[in-house]
Amino acid sequence: MGWEYVIPGYLVVFGTLAVYATAVLRRGRSLSKQLPEEKRRFLAPEAGTTDLEK
């Protein structure tokens, strides 16, 4: 008893996570291609913070 609620719950959570993660990764790729290399670094040293890319 209860599987009819459990399965949709797990599908919603992990399905949404998969779709959201894919959308974020694709957006990152698309934005990276639009920027020159020097602007592509995450938190460049001139921003006063450490470079996360390392």
Partner 1 sequence: MTTTGVDTNVSTVPAHTGSRGSRALGAICLVLIAALLIFALWVTPPEVSQRDAVRLFYIHVPSAIVSFYIAFTITLIGSILYLAKQSVFWDLMAGASAEIGVVFLGFTLVTGMLWGRPTWGTYWQWDPRLTSTAVSFVLYLGYLAVRRLDMDPALRSRRAAILGIVSFANLIIVRYSVSWWRSLHQGTTLDPVDTQMDGVMLFTFFLGTITMILVFFWLLIHRFRVAWLEHQLAEVGLEAAIQERRSEGNASDASSDGKTR
Q: Calculate ∠ Cα 12-14-15, nearest 5°.
A: 60
> How many other C-beta atoms lie within 10 A of the C-beta of residue 41?
15
Least separation in angstroms between CB 33 and partner 1: 5
Site for partner 1 contains 52 (CB under 8 A): yes
22: contact with partner 1 by CB under 8 A: no
Helices (H) and strands (E) in the chain, counts: 2, 0
Residues near partner 1 (CB under 8 A) are 1-3, 5-6, 8-10, 12-14, 16-17, 20-21, 24-25, 27-29, 31-43, 47, 49, 52-53
